[in-house]
Chain A
Amino acid sequence: MFAIATLVAGSASAQAPKPTSTLEVVKSRGMLSCGVSQGLPGFSTPDDKGNWTGIDVDICRAIAAAVLNDPAKIRFVPLSAKDRFTSLQSSDIDVLSRNTTWTLSRDTSVGLNFTGITYYDGQGFMIAKAKNVNSALELSNATVCVQTGTTNEQNVADYFKANKMKYEIVAFSSADEALKTYESGRCDVFTSDVSQIVAERTKLAQPDAHVILPEVISKEPLGPLVRHGDDQWFDIVKWTLFAMLNAEELGITQKNVDEMAKSDKPELKRVFGTDGNLGEQLGLTKDWVIRIVKAVGNYGETFDRNVGANSKLKIPRGWNKLYTQGGLQYAPPIR
């Protein structure tokens, strides 16, 4: 409600001759305002000391490191799926990094721009082992718990219709509530993006009593978003992720970044800003990539730490491997 009030009343920016630049706003505030989830392990969740961690959080930290030279200068704004876009539209947050699926309408009529794909995902179903179901095609007449305001709601409708199955959907404003209701037996299946199901499953009393069905029924490319109308900020957020991907491809890690910065390979010199002014073209400093990698590491390190091998979730890289290793992650070159 407050967000809408600012959308209505945020007058100065619209009628002033020069639109305010998000970069200037963030710098003068000395703080990046970043929209995250209300607690999704691996993506964005506060630990017991109140520190936010996760792959989506690391994107914010990387941006803060690049822009403010301090990955801690962030105000995290936990948002429900249905409030997230309004909050970004109304300038309450500078960037939304909240496991959000890239779709055409969100990229256009909702007034936002996706800056890239941090995680290639797809929607799946979780069901109790005791129900003896081995395929999503056996779910006819099932009751499905889902979080409202997601692409998941529409995907379920499409999937059941395409397979001529009946279903009942119970939609909750928070993923936690949907999961709790699923656990109580009100629903037969819980549906969400597969990565999210893996994370949510850890919250169940008996995680091992539930299986994820093999079918992946949709494409869910998850990525950060910014508002329409500020190309410079769009570029900064976009290239922050690209920098992390390029760093992995070039073998730059949190540990060896200082060592590699001394390299005289032309490609690395461009990346590290010892040659040229690529960082300044973005409106940042020359050492922007060094700052990012020092703060959060390269993409692979971030992935492993939060959702991959070194995390509790242990999700395989799969599609999120670099293209050089048979995955889909491919960033344009820094040059």
Chain B
Amino acid sequence: MAIDARKPPPQFAARMKRVLGGRSGLSGVAMQILFAATLIWVGYEIVANARANLEAQRIASGFGFLNNTAGFGVSQSLIPYAENNSYLRVFFVGLLNTLAVSVVGIFFATVIGFFIGLGRMSPNWLVARLCGAYVEIIRNLPLLFQLLFWYIAVLAALPAPRQSFSFFGVAFLSNRGLVVPTPIPLDGFGPFLIAVLVAIIAAFGLRIYARRALFERGKLVTIWPYVLAVLIGLPVLSMLAFGMPATSELPVLRGFNFSGGSRVVPEFVALVLALSTYTAAFIAEIVRAGVTSVHKGQVEAGGSLGLTRGQTLRLIVVPQALRVILPPLTNQYLNLTKNSSLAVAIGYPDLFSVFAGTALSQTGQAIEIIAMTMGVYLLISLVTSAIMNFYGWRIGRSMNA
């Protein structure tokens, strides 16, 4: 009697069984189905109840209101906006303002955080203590207070429009914000833009070439003079050939305020200051944790290779520390984005303020508006963590290589 080797169980079925039932087999599958059904039922009940409640009180529901005229003004908008635009437009105005403050805030928080974090480990006694004090003070005070402090501080430090600081008569700083000339594109704008893009691509090409030369042939190529030449030269050439890319609309003081020009409102500055300095305190500790996690021998090895302290940090320590830094750093980025909704306290027109604030109280459609706003914050956060995960995956890959 021939003995057949037992066939391996079909992979797909096994995997499904594992996913659905775990170790408990079919009864596990039944539990999963029951659980899913319960979830769906609870969800349905919530929606049905909310709908019945709204109908009983004759509260408007649905998303039709998004096409209605908003009828109120917004102090800062990255896209053209007027009072007779719809609530949907208000939604996008608020969303872009939230994104703007988050992106700028994340940038500064990262820069400040890295400096403070590395500074705290500096052999210089004073620098280390100052950075330590920064972290302990900033992270232990509530963010809302810091925000109000910066707002009041920013406003108190700035003069009224008539006494504004003038920068060569083209830009003005006052308690209405920083007013700068608005660029108005001319004929040379297209070629200029292309020249800048080409220059940037060329600079990256040069960098790739230099790295390849270093890794494959062991040759150190100095590229920065060429990079500089390309980055400045190409745009200048395009200006010579096609004329100036843009003219500018100068701000003029008219009545109470400047008219014309583009403006950075003080609310934006205060919010960025508060968010970035606050988050930087946490990032500093994360950076310190990451750097500390790199074995001391690595630093000593760098030293014995003749690298300076700065080079050791940049080339040896930070790349290894990044693996540890990245996941908690993502958390801080997400926190910063969500904390930007405190803007409502100082009158910065972010998504929460104009959409979940003004639009909500004008339409009374709390459920729809809050759901949309929560959905957007969720989406922004998920995209941020996806980007960070991708970056982490790349670092992990290059470390293993």
Interface residues of A, Cβ cutoff 8 Å to B: 1, 3-4, 7-11, 13-15, 19, 81-82, 84-86, 89, 105-106, 108-112, 131, 139-143, 145, 148-150, 153-154, 156-158, 161, 166-174, 177-178, 180-181, 184-186, 188, 227-229
Q: Tell whether B266 is near chain A: CB-to-CB under 8 Å.
A: yes
Whether the Cβ atoms of A89 and B57 lie closer than 8 Å is: yes
Chain A residues whose CB sits within 8 angstroms of the CB of B53 once the complex forms: 7-8, 10-11, 13-14
Whether the Cβ atoms of A228 and B57 lie closer than 8 Å is: yes
Contact-size category for B: 35 or more
Whether the Cβ atoms of B347 and A170 lie closer than 8 Å is: yes
Whether the Cβ atoms of A143 and B361 lie closer than 8 Å is: no
Given A142-B255, A171-B358: A9 and B46 within 8 A (CB)? Answer: yes
Chain B residues whose CB sits within 8 angstroms of the CB of A142 once the complex forms: 255-257
Listed A/B pairs (17) with beta-carbon separation below 8 Å = A14-B49, A14-B53, A85-B366, A111-B60, A111-B364, A142-B255, A142-B256, A142-B257, A148-B344, A149-B360, A153-B73, A166-B259, A168-B73, A171-B358, A172-B347, A173-B357, A181-B347
Chain B residues whose CB sits within 8 angstroms of the CB of A108 once the complex forms: 58, 60
Interface residues of B, Cβ cutoff 8 Å to A: 45-46, 49-50, 52-54, 56-60, 71-75, 83, 151-152, 155-156, 160, 175-176, 254-257, 259, 265-267, 344-347, 349, 353-354, 357-358, 360-367, 370
Residue of A nearest to B71 (CB): A154
Whether the Cβ atoms of B364 and A85 lie closer than 8 Å is: yes
The residue that A4 contacts in the complex, of B58, B257, B344, B366, with Cβ under 8 A, is: B366
Whether the Cβ atoms of B152 and A89 lie closer than 8 Å is: no
The residue that A184 contacts in the complex, of B60, B83, B152, with Cβ under 8 A, is: B152
Chain A residues whose CB sits within 8 angstroms of the CB of B75 once the complex forms: 168-171
Q: How far is the CA of A158 from the CA of B213 in the complex (A)?
A: 66
The residue that B357 contacts in the complex, of A82, A85, A180, with Cβ under 8 A, is: A82
Residue of A nearest to B59 (CB): A111
Q: How far is the CA of A143 from the CA of B346 in the complex (A)?
A: 15
The residue that B176 contacts in the complex, of A4, A153, A186, A229, with Cβ under 8 A, is: A186
Q: How far is the CA of A156 from the CA of B176 in the complex (A)?
A: 19
Give the distance to chain B from A98, nearest Cβ to Cβ, in Å. Answer: 12
Chain B residues whose CB sits within 8 angstroms of the CB of A188 once the complex forms: 256-257
The residue that B367 contacts in the complex, of A7, A11, A158, A161, with Cβ under 8 A, is: A7
The residue that A149 contacts in the complex, of B73, B74, B151, B361, with Cβ under 8 A, is: B361
Q: How far is the CA of A109 from the CA of B49 in the complex (A)?
A: 18
Whether the Cβ atoms of A178 and B49 lie closer than 8 Å is: no
Q: How far is the CA of A132 from the CA of B117 in the complex (A)?
A: 52
Q: How far is the CA of A153 from the CA of B359 in the complex (A)?
A: 11
Whether the Cβ atoms of A9 and B267 lie closer than 8 Å is: no
Give the distance to chain A from B142, nearest Cβ to Cβ, in Å. Answer: 16
Most buried by B among A106, A108, A141: A141
